Amino acid sequence: MSNPEPPPPPPPSPTPAPIGGGATGGNYPARLQLDSEAPVPRWGPLVQWFLAIPHWFVASVLIFVGEIVAFISWFVILFTGKLPDGFANLQCMVLRYLARTYSYGLGLVAPYPPFEFATTPADPGVYPARVDFEPALEGRNRLTVGLRLIWAIPAAIVAYIIAIIAFFCWLIGIFAVLFTGGWPGGLRSWVEKGIRAYLRLYAYMFLLTDEYPPLSIE
């Protein structure tokens, strides 16, 4: 008589989901991550846009610098097929500063943003609005770079539509947070989508990547 076969091993237990909130930007090379469970003051969305005025000013100057760097990068990529590391790092700093300013100014995070200008693709981790990049330095697509202003029109339209919805969600969220002490999940999600959509659009327009921004409201 043959020996009975041993029973099959039990299936592996599923990997537990991470504890704590946090919305991420998916797999796009420009990613924003916010802690959705971090408390915000009741008055945050109502007044933080005003308290952020110094950062709005700095961000507007940095965006102007970023546009100049993107213009120079356009020629460099067309002639060499590469994005210089220094240009990419500078653009990462510009867009990170902008995303942090919006995250605070719209009342999604409570701590006041630092005047921090680290030129690194990886977020240095000094602020709860984390913005990471994966710049494409080699093997750039000269065709899509050369036609970037035209190529980006559909993505810009989608980002604009998301931003309009996000703006009205923010207006409603001002009173929701004021009276309840917290962001309703759906409203907060749309405000985050608005910031994330423009972060991706800027990363594409500033030539940090050739990967097209998702034409989706997700």
Domain assignments of the chain as residue spans, ordered by start? 30-205
Cα separation, 190 vs 202, whole angstroms: 18
**Model-level pTM?**
0.86
Q: How confident is the model at residue 39 (pLDDT cuts 50, 70, 90)?
A: confident
Q: Could you tell me how far CA 211 lies from the centroid of its own chain?
A: 15
Residue 201's Cβ-side half-sphere holds a number of Cα atoms within 13 Å equal to 23
pLDDT for 14 equals 36
CB atoms within 10 A of CB 176: 17
- Over residues 128-177, the pLDDT tens digits come to 999 999 999 999 999 999 999 999 999 999 999 999 999 999 999 999 99
pLDDT for 134 equals 97
Cα separation, 65 vs 115, whole angstroms: 16
Q: Name beta bridge partners: 130.
A: 33
SS3 state of residue 34: strand
Mean pLDDT over all residues of the chain?
89
Pick the more confident residue, 213 or 20. 213
Q: Region 37-43: what's the mean pLDDT? A: 86
The torsion angles phi and psi of 33, rounded to 5 degrees, stand at -130, 125
Cα separation, 164 vs 199, whole angstroms: 15
- Over residues 199-216, the pLDDT tens digits come to 999 999 999 999 999 998
Out of 11-15, 178-182, 200-204, which region has the weakest mean confidence (pLDDT)? 11-15
Q: How confident is the model at residue 4 (pLDDT cuts 50, 70, 90)?
A: very low
